[in-house]
């Protein structure tokens, strides 16, 4: 099922937010349930190509608009790919009916399958029944085994198989958070899906660890290969490197191929990236190591860094504050921004209120220190040469540089060249 032609031909002249709204209007109604389930997806390559042509730089807040587009695409994929062909509540109700009363209550409370969607801990349930948390764990595990052996489970095998089909379409290995978000629309429904994943014999759960989020898979060999690929991807990243999303996905796809993995869909690699903890995406759509301050944005300094990096050249601190507001839709007071720029070694003052990134090659220090560094590296220089080199690093007038050359820190030789005073 392809998107309407008029949606695919939206002009980039719409700009960021307007184009998003225009596309959204054409998708106001979801496709018929059976059609979506059988076709599995719209031609997302066409739709994504249309989205990629949107000029986000024309939007008021590109980072916020990018997030909205990402949410729109995720919702589109969720409604077309992972739609289940059964009612989760009715299946779980029948499965639980095969259990004794107390076992049924324990399982329902553990998974939040009753009147309340709140999932209770082993300890809380144990206190209610006057037993240890370990005893409740035993009851839970025994109850799940009973469900798998029950006639009700056999009668509902079509539902378990359909859930397996949905997980396959989500990439065969998927983070628990992403799986539940794709397969359910409410907290209560997510609890029912989680119960079916837990009790279903097709599904294997891998718990949360330092490298990966909790995840589910239906293909052990593929799961191992994907996790190896994600580990290799992390190793290839330097601590400070940021990679545009399109390049990053291509890099990941290359590694996947080297590991013998062929994705079932174009969306699968992006979903697999969500499994990894040690790589992440910043608000501007760039990827890197999750512990990098350029990825995990914590404060004004980090937003200022991304603003300057996006701009590509020195900016006045008032412009940096304005850029933070426009790019990230985040309030940034000029004075506060200025203080953060002063305190962070990533930024270098290169003029009156002008700041650049140290990684661009700018050295910290006042004009006199810059002159010293230049002479120390290149030897005695003529006044004109010193002025030229200083102005590569500082936005200052020629007269300011000349005044600094008259200080006792420098001596002028008979040939007119300046040296550092001994």
Domain spans in the chain, listed from the N-terminal domain onward: 5-81, 85-202, 300-360, 367-420
Tokens representing 12 are 């980039």
- pTM of the full predicted structure? 0.65
Q: What are phi and psi of 107, to 5 degrees?
A: -65, -45
295-352 confidence digits (pLDDT tens): 888 889 889 988 988 888 889 999 999 999 998 888 999 999 999 999 998 998 888 8
223-261 confidence digits (pLDDT tens): 999 999 999 999 999 877 889 988 999 999 999 999 999
Residues 379-408: what's their mean pLDDT? 83
CATH of domain 367-420: 1.10.10
Dist. CA 396–CA 379, nearest whole Å: 22
Task: Report the pLDDT value the prediction gives residue 62, as an integer from 0 to 100.
Answer: 54
Name the residue with higher pLDDT: 125 or 10: 125
User: Of 32-36, 124-128, 132-136, 395-399, where does mean pLDDT reach its minimum?
Assistant: 32-36
Q: Tell me the angle at which helices 367-378 and 383-393 cross, rounded to the nearest 10 degrees.
A: 120
CATH 1.10.760 assigned to 300-360:
no
* Range 59-96 burial, b when 16+ CB lie within 10 A, else e: bebbbbbbebbeebbbebbbbbbbbbeeebeebbebbb
Does the pLDDT value for residue 3 go beyond 90? no
Does the pLDDT value for residue 17 go beyond 90? no
Residues 50-78: what's their mean pLDDT? 47
CATH 3.40.718.10 assigned to 85-202:
no
Task: Report the pLDDT value the prediction gives residue 81, as an integer from 0 to 100.
Answer: 46
Task: Report the pLDDT value the prediction gives residue 313, as an integer from 0 to 100.
Answer: 82
Name the residue with higher pLDDT: 287 or 363: 287
Tokens representing 406 are 């008259």
Does the pLDDT value for residue 58 go beyond 80? no
Transcribe 115-176 into DSSP letters: SS-PPPPHHHHHHHHTS-HHHHHHHHHHHHHHHHHSHHHHHTHHHHHHHHHHHHHTTSEEEH
CA count, 13 A, side-chain hemisphere, 407? 12
Task: Report the pLDDT value the prediction gives residue 63, as an integer from 0 to 100.
Answer: 56
Q: Where are the alpha helices (DSSP H) in 237-330?
A: 245-258, 268-273, 300-311, 317-328
């Amino acid at each position: 099922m392809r998107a309407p032609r008029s949606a695919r031909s939206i002009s980039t002249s719409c700009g960021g937010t307007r184009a998003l709204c225009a596309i959204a209007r054409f998708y106001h109604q979801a496709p018929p349930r059976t059609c979506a389930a059988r076709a599995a997806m719209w031609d997302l390559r066409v739709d994504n190509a249309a989205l990629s042509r949107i000029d986000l730089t024309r939007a008021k807040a590109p980072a916020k608009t990018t997030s909205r587009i990402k949410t729109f695409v995720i919702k589109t994929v969720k409604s077309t790919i992972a739609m289940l062909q059964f009612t989760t509540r009715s299946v779980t109700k029948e499965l639980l009916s095969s259990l004794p009363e107390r076992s049924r209550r324990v399982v329902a409370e553990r998974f939040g399958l009753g009147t309340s969607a709140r999932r209770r801990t082993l300890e809380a349930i144990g206190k209610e029944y006057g037993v240890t948390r370990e005893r409740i764990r035993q009851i839970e595990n025994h109850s799940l085994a009973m469900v798998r052996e029950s006639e009700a489970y056999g009668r509902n095998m079509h539902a378990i198989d359909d859930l397996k089909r949905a997980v396959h379409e989500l990439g065969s290995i998927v983070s628990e958070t992403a799986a539940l978000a794709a397969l359910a629309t409410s907290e209560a429904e997510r609890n029912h899906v989680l119960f079916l994943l837990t009790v279903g014999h097709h599904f294997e759960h891998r718990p949360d660890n330092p490298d990966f989020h909790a995840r589910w898979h239906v293909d052990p060999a593929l799961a191992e290969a994907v996790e190896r690929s994600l580990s290799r991807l992390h190793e290839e990243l330097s601590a400070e490197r940021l990679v545009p999303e399109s390049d990053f996905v291509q890099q990941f796809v290359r590694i996947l191929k080297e590991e013998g993995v062929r994705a079932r869909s174009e969306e699968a690699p992006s979903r697999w990236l969500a499994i990894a903890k040690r790589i992440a995406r910043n608000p501007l759509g760039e990827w890197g190591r999750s512990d990098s301050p350029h990825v995990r944005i914590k404060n004004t300094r980090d937003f200022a860094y991304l603003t300057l990096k996006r701009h590509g050249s020195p900016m006045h601190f008032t412009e940096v504050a304005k850029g933070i507001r426009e790019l990230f839709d985040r309030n940034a007071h000029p004075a506060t921004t200025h203080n953060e720029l002063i305190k962070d070694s990533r930024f270098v003052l290169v003029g009156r209120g002008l700041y650049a990134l140290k990684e661009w090659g700018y050295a910290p220090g006042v004009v006199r220190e810059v002159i010293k560094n230049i002479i120390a590296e290149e030897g005695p220089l003529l006044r004109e040469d010193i002025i030229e080199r200083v102005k590569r690093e500082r936005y200052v007038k020629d007269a300011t540089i000349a005044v600094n050359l008259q200080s006792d820190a420098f001596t002028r030789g008979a040939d007119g060249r300046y040296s550092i005073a001994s």
